[in-house]
Structure 1
Amino acid sequence: MAKKVVATLKKTDNKSFAKVIRAVKSEKTGAYSFREEIVPAELVKETLAQK
């Protein structure tokens, strides 16, 4: 599946996108889950800086 995601990220009008995967801790159980987002390459640092 990763190959398909990378291929689709490169096709959109010469804009570059990145897939950001974050570990998010649940307040109820304390377990970690992963949140995936596809963002423009210019906004990766800003997205990671958000909480």
Structure 2
Amino acid sequence: MAKKVVATLKKGDGKSFAKVIKAVKSEKTGAYTFKEEIVPAELVKETLAKK
């Protein structure tokens, strides 16, 4: 699956994208899970700032 995502992001569509991976702590168990999103490069800071 990773190859497909990388190949899609390398196309020259004029926009650059970034893959954002956040660690989210579960309230029930206390374990961390990882949430992945692909967002435009301009919105990386806003994506990381929201909870």
Deviation at 1:12, TM superposition (A): 5.5
> How many aligned residue pairs are there?
51
**TM-score when normalising by structure 1:** 0.84
Unaligned stretches of 5+ residues in structure 2: none
Local SS of the residue matching 1:28: coil
Note the aligned Cα RMSD (angstroms): 1.5
| Identical amino acids, percent of aligned pairs | 88
Q: Distance in 1 between matches of 2:38 and 2:44?
A: 9
Q: What runs of 5+ residues in structure 1 fail to find an aligned partner? A: none
Aligned equivalents of 1:12 and 1:27: distance in 2? 41
TM-score between the two structures when normalised by the length of structure 2: 0.84
Q: Give a deviation string over 1:21-42, Cα, whole Å, max 9, x none.
A: 0000001000000000000000
Q: Counterparts in 2 of 1:10-25, with a 5 A limit?
A: 10-11=10-11, 13-25=13-25
